[in-house]
Structure 1
């Protein structure tokens, strides 16, 4: 017996939130990955236990990432550097909750509303809410009731905060009237921060930024089931203008045992990656170890181009100029393809002090090719770099950033363990391409910055798909809309079949007998938009 599952995806809005408060955490563990999310800007790091928090496979006690965080910075109209960052521990340039234009972070109203800084919701609850709100006996889940769609303007917070579908388009989040959170994926954790407090990490000057992070996962098969997506939005709530604003995704990748790793860059794939230095990962530091043929892990920037991919060395290797940054100018150097001391990254060797010219991408050769620059071949003669504790630094291309504007960055954390430690790098590149196709094809409508209009909502209500789940056939029915195309898309983002549309009937029956059991998307193209159903 074959079973097919479909779930509705809808165009929507994306807005903002940030704050001060106590440390809280939540696990994003809806697929084969278990990822801890902290409300203070730490991704995948258990700050209370001081341990890694990105476990793959979930439940294995093996981790790929110890810590992740974002750095943001730029020079303002006066040439002053403004920068916010986080790395490890309690030092942090970010505060929990949304930006307050009146600075009322310590007011009880603000603290009580935004102290947690984290909200999470599952798509299945949203679908149930759409179908049953207003029905006798239905109780709206707290995850939907407490979604921070609107901010409290009495304490200087912006009126529109986290993304939601506004059914009656009145600008007010009213779940009791049918409004609901707008998320990507099958489960999402939403986080809001600001940089308006003390910068105890970098000592940098405040940007005036509000940061929204949506970490989400899909349940599926193959690559998607091993992937976590991170959508990061930065809103300029301050008064400064920037011409060179950049975002850096900092990741301390620990593939099982922490001190036997390498890093590399694949610029054409917009990906940085880490792999084991040897064919066997022994475990240690609280990790069970991946053993033979350890996996590779990568991070892909999905919606922009990377300006640089690099690292710094957690041990000095005899040179303090290539280690952890301590002050804002050193963070900014790393964000501009320079070492801590301001010297350029260079091609060859370990990337420092070379004579082969500067580079934006460290170790940009494939370790499976013995003629290219990698940590398996740092000099062209097969000399290997000692494996150690590595970090990844992925920096976006610079952009203008004016007061009131927002910038969006979409990332995917990908994983592959199909072969040995080196061939897994090749496999990881294929995985990254598959996930990029998935992202481009499925389209995360919640990334839109425009509200859901009445026309969009009425168009959706004129469309139905049944039965769902189904076995051998599914029916697509529509009224009062002009359907141009119908396609079946795999969870990996590949078009499986295109269905001829019979406009005269308003209903199309799709035979699924040739498909394997699983999750698929039905993409219905109309004159106005695409409606994607899973």
Structure 2
């Protein structure tokens, strides 16, 4: 079964790996007659600084985060403009066993090689079943020109979508005059060029980036002239406790799509999975602690013909709180939080050219707060302090280890942090 896996990561302001685990209960499918092959994609080059609030964080379309590889320098700065950098690098890790018990793996550390390339993978239309939680699958291939075409971020803001929605609703209201209420307004290119659909002539999934399909517009087809827009849930229609649809999040959002089939894995040397990853990096502008946080969402779709078992998803984080050789890492099990902090009250040891923070250095935290959905079992798995009962009923003993447990809703449980590993 080729499941859709959605992960939410919150970064709060080690080398650590925070993991979530998903072990599908259905048996793996055998090999298909469709032969996988490595495409000839060149390494992704897209990069953009997420700097909407108090954080400056460099993101690359090729899967690497928070590292300025051109300068061999850290690129996660809080407060923005201070020169105080607290993370050197980070990336998404994933791996599992196929039907032949062979490891499939995609991961990065400092991106000295490549395991990820941009663009959506090919499928066989009609093979998926949304009611069972998976999308179309098939060859899971990609051509070099598609990798190049998708080597970019698609950037939107909630404010511009709200303005577009208000303008469009005014245009449909006989008592509202757009020339008076919205003088000179034109639909921004971010809405007009939104990648809502894949190219079906290239066997891509027809539905790609999420969009709001306004009643009365062309059903199922992205139509900005008919009022459709990149899908921020403006009306609050999606109840995340029961609805698994992925919308756009944050006040500022960077959306992109990448995969692990664009070429040979030169970072890990692992066999490719056939994973398509629809990604969001986003931030909120607020007057509280959230203004110093960034967030990331990954919708991971196994497009290959094989189910993986014993599957892990992880976020690898190499934290350098100013100087790199005087930091400690740990985890708070009850909160499901990985963290890193300076060894003493003054950051000044082992700087190796980095800017020291000095007195009272901050701590940082990584919260894997919405991991993969737990396999359906017809139960509301419990949240209970009785650890034996939690284990016996696939529940959790601490609220920070997942969401949807003990909330009276059946089969909406999502893993939080399941492992914390120090990696050096």
TM-score, normalized by length of structure 1? Answer: 0.52
Offset of 1:113 from its aligned partner? 3.1
The yes-or-no answer on 1:273 pairing with 2:311 is: no
Alignment deviations for residues 122-153 of structure 1 (CA, whole Å, 9 cap, x no partner): 11111111112465642221222222111112
Choose which of 282, 291, 299 in structure 1 pairs with 2:358.
Answer: 291
Kept in 1, the 8 Å contact 2:106–2:115? The answer is yes
| Structure 1 residue ranges (4+ consecutive) displaced by more than 4 angstroms after TM superposition | none
Q: How many residues align?
A: 295
Q: Distance in 2 between matches of 1:285 and 1:121?
A: 38
**CA distance in structure 1 between the partners assigned to 2:324 and 2:60 by the alignment:** 21
| Counterpart contact for 2:94–2:107, Cα < 8 Å | yes
Per the alignment, residue 167 of structure 2 pairs with: 132
- Match runs of 1:253-268 below 5 Å: 253-268=319-334
Correspondent of 1:217 among 283, 292, 296: 283
- Residue by residue over 1:320-341, the C-alpha shift from the partner in whole angstroms, topping out at 9 and shown as x without a partner, is xxxxxxxxxxxxxxxxxxxxxx
> 1:124 aligns to what SS in structure 2?
helix
TM-aligned CA deviation for residue 177 of structure 1: 2.1
Contact 2:154/2:255 (CA < 8 Å) preserved in 1?
A: yes
Corresponding residue for 1:177? 226
- What is aligned with 1:491? none
Aligned partner of 1:105 in structure 2 is 143
Determine helix, strand or coil for the equivalent of 1:269: coil
- Return 5+ residue gaps in structure 1 as ranges: 1-13, 305-395, 402-432, 441-447, 449-534
Change in 2 beyond 3 A, CA 1:250/1:76: same
Instruction: Return the match for 1:142 from 167, 179, 189.
Output: 189
Q: Are the counterparts in 1 of residues 338 and 365 from structure 2 also a CA contact under 8 Å?
A: yes
Whole-angstrom CA distance in 1 between matches of 2:166 and 2:43: 35
Query: Is the 8 Å Cα contact of residues 97 and 309 (structure 2) preserved in structure 1?
Result: yes
Structure 1 CA distance, aligned partners of 2:352 and 2:186? Answer: 45
Deviation of the 1:36 alpha carbon: 0.9
Contact 2:111–2:267 (Cα < 8 Å) also in 1: no
1:94 aligns with 2:161: no
- SS for the counterpart of 1:72 is strand
Q: CA deviation at 1:265?
A: 1.0
1:443-454 matches, cutoff 5 A: none
**Highest relative contact order (Cα 8 Å, sep 6+), 1 or 2?**
2
Instruction: Give the C-alpha shift of residue 234 in structure 1.
Output: 0.7
Counterpart CA distance in 1 for 2:259 and 2:166 is 36
Closer/same/farther in 2, CA of residues 112 and 290 from structure 1, 3 Å limit? closer
Deviation digits for residues 170-214 of structure 1, max 9, x if unmatched?
222222322111221100111211011211111111111001221
- The separation in 1 between residues aligned to 2:356 and 2:312, in whole angstroms, is 36
Q: Is the 8 A contact 2:121 2:142 kept in 1?
A: no
The answer on 1:41 being equivalent to 2:90 is no
Change (3 A) 1:207 1:216: same
Query: Which of 268, 293, 301 is the equivalent residue of 1:235?
Result: 301
Residues 104 and 246 from structure 1, CA distance in 2 versus in 1: closer, same or farther, beyond 3 angstroms?
closer
- In structure 1, how many angstroms separate the alpha carbons of the residues matched to 2:223 and 2:112? 37
For the residues of structure 2 that align with 1:202 and 1:121, how far apart are their CA atoms?
A: 33
Q: How does 1:95-494 map to 2 (within 5 A)?
A: 95-101=117-123, 103-107=141-145, 110-111=146-147, 113-116=149-152, 118-133=153-168, 135=178, 137-168=184-215, 170-182=219-231, 183-196=248-261, 197-282=263-348, 284-304=351-371
Matched residues in 2 for 1:100 and 1:90: separation? 27
SS at match of 1:91: coil
Structure 2 spans left out of the alignment, 5+ residues? 1-5, 7-40, 124-138, 172-177, 232-247, 377-398, 405-411, 413-424
- Once the 2 structures are TM-superposed, how far is the Cα of residue 112 of structure 1 from its aligned partner? 5.5
Post-superposition offset of 1:287: 3.6
Q: Distance in 2 between matches of 1:37 and 1:153?
A: 29
Superimposed CA distance per residue, residues 282-330 of structure 1 (whole angstroms, 9 cap, x where no aligned partner): 28445432211100001011124xxxxxxxxxxxxxxxxxxxxxxxxxx
Tell which structure's C-alpha radius of gyration is larger.
Answer: 1
Distance 1:400 1:32, change over 3 A: same
The 1:52–1:21 alpha-carbon spacing in structure 2 relative to 1, beyond 3 Å, is: same
**Secondary structure in 2 aligned to 1:255?**
coil
SS at 2:370's partner residue?
Answer: coil
* 8 Å contact kept, 1:20–1:96: no
Shift in Å at residue 91 of structure 1?
Answer: 0.6
Contact kept in structure 2, 1:53 and 1:65, CA below 8 Å: yes
Equivalent residue number for residue 70 of structure 1: 92
> C-alpha offsets along residues 215-248 of structure 1, whole Å, 9 cap, x if unaligned?
1111112211111111111101111112321101
Q: Distance in 2 between matches of 1:115 and 1:69?
A: 17
CA distance in 2, matches of 1:153, 1:139: 30
Alignment RMSD: 2.7
